[in-house]
């Protein structure tokens, strides 16, 4: 764990300084505790590595189909190496993505130093399943083989990963309304542009029709909110 206080507290941000580790890079040696940890990674740990594997599970707020992902990069050779690492991880899905807001992320700190970086989402809802643990253990084994650290055979899944792309912002549908979300499709479902994904029900007034949300492009449902309650952030004055 990179942000031990947050993990101990069971939250995304550190209770010590409210810092989100994956939004704290490159960090600062004189900043908050979270920024100092990020700085240590940036200046000392990342330079020593050739490959980096980042393991996530959607936290408490998301459900996701299990996948390994790499980013599109200007350095095509580096991008190809990252994509190969994601493929060999052996999750059910392999995703190549263009990060919408890569600023201050651990991913960017690793990639900017020319390293091979693979990130994963292996479940969600703040929990695990026997299936997600099996995918994770196999994936770590395979990534160690890929990195040359473990001299062993790859443990290939019964079916090769399904390749997906997240090329732009139209892959993301975000609610502009508060309330209760009613999903109309399942994770992994194939959807077409214009398909109804879900409805947000108003909980402050009766007789108000739910607000529908539609897919903005063809694809499959890769992730969805785990919790039924939808909140809208109110900007501070």
Tell me: the pLDDT tens digits for 61-74?
Answer: 899 999 999 999 99
Instruction: Tell me the C-alpha to C-alpha distance, in Å, between residue 64 and each of 56, 113, 139.
Output: 10, 29, 17
CA atoms of 176 and 212, how far apart (whole Å): 11
CA dihedral 88, 91, 96, 99 (to 10 degrees): -120
Nearest to 70 by CA among 128, 16, 110, 36: 110
What is the model's pLDDT at position 233? 62
Class of residue 152 by CB neighbours under 10 A (exposed 0-12, middle 13-18, buried 19+): exposed
Q: Where are the domains of the chain?
A: 1-48, 50-167, 170-225
CA atoms of 86 and 127, how far apart (whole Å): 23
What is the model's pLDDT at position 73? 94
CA atoms of 181 and 185, how far apart (whole Å): 12
**pLDDT at 75 exceeding the cut of 70:** yes
Name the one residue in this structure whose structure tokens are 């919408």. 100
CA atoms of 213 and 233, how far apart (whole Å): 18
Name the one residue in this structure whose structure tokens are 């989402």. 121
Give the chain's mean pLDDT.
Answer: 93
Local structure of residue 124 (DSSP, 8 states): B
What is the model's pLDDT at position 234? 58
The pair of structure tokens assigned to 146 is: 């890929």
Nearest to 170 by CA among 197, 136, 189: 197
**pLDDT at 236 exceeding the cut of 60:** no
- Cross-strand pairs, 64: 223
**pLDDT at 99 exceeding the cut of 70:** yes
**pLDDT at 237 exceeding the cut of 60:** no
Confidence of residue 60 (pLDDT cuts 50, 70, 90): confident
Angle at the Cα of 92 from the Cα atoms of 112 and 194, rounded to 5 degrees: 85
Give the whole-number percent of the chain exceeding pLDDT 70: 98
CA dihedral 150, 153, 77, 92 (to 10 degrees): -110
The domain 50-167 is classified under which CATH number: 3.40.630.10, 3.40.1210.10, 3.10.20.740, 3.40.190.10? 3.40.630.10
Class of residue 237 by CB neighbours under 10 A (exposed 0-12, middle 13-18, buried 19+): exposed
Residues 117-163 pLDDT 10s: 999 999 888 888 999 999 999 999 999 999 999 999 999 999 999 99
**pLDDT at 90 exceeding the cut of 80:** yes
pTM of the shown model: 0.91
What is the model's pLDDT at position 123? 86
Q: Angle of helix 76-89 relative to helix 130-146, nearest 10 degrees? A: 140
- Cross-strand pairs, 54: 119
* Cβ neighbours of 216 (radius 10 Å): 15
Rounded average pLDDT over 40-44: 97
Give the whole-number percent of the chain exceeding pLDDT 90: 84
Tell me which architecture the domain covering 170-225 has in CATH: Beta Barrel (2.40)
Confidence of residue 183 (pLDDT cuts 50, 70, 90): very high
Rounded average pLDDT over 24-36: 96
**pLDDT at 76 exceeding the cut of 80:** yes
Element (H, E) at 57: none
What is the model's pLDDT at position 100? 75
Taking every pair of Cα atoms in the chain, the longest distance, rounded to a whole number of angstroms, is 64
Rounded average pLDDT over 3-32: 93
């Amino acid at each position: 764990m990179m942000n031990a206080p947050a993990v101990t507290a069971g939250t995304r941000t550190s209770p010590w300084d409210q810092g989100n580790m994956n939004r704290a890079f490159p960090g600062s040696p004189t900043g908050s505790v979270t920024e100092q940890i990020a700085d240590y990674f940036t200046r000392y740990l990342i330079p020593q590595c050739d490959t980096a594997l980042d393991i996530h599970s959607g936290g408490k707020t998301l459900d996701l189909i299990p996948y390994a992902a790499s980013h599109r990069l200007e350095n095509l050779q580096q991008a190809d190496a990252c994509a190969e690492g994601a493929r060999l991880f052996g999750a059910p899905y392999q995703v190549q993505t263009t990060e919408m807001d890569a600023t201050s992320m651990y991913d960017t700190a690793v990639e900017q130093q020319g390293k091979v970086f693979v990130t994963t989402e292996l479940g969600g809802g703040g929990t695990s399943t026997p299936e997600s643990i099996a995918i994770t253990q196999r994936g770590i084994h395979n990534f160690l083989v890929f990195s040359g650290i473990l001299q062993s055979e790859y443990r290939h899944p019964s079916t090769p990963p399904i390749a997906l792309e997240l090329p732009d912002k139209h892959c993301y549908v975000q609610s502009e309304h508060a309330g209760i979300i009613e999903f109309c499709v399942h994770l992994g479902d194939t959807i077409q542009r214009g398909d109804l994904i879900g409805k947000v029900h108003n909980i402050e007034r009766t007789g108000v029709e739910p607000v529908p949300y539609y897919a903005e492009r063809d694809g499959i449902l890769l992730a969805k909110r785990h919790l039924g309650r939808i909140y809208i952030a109110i900007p501070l004055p």
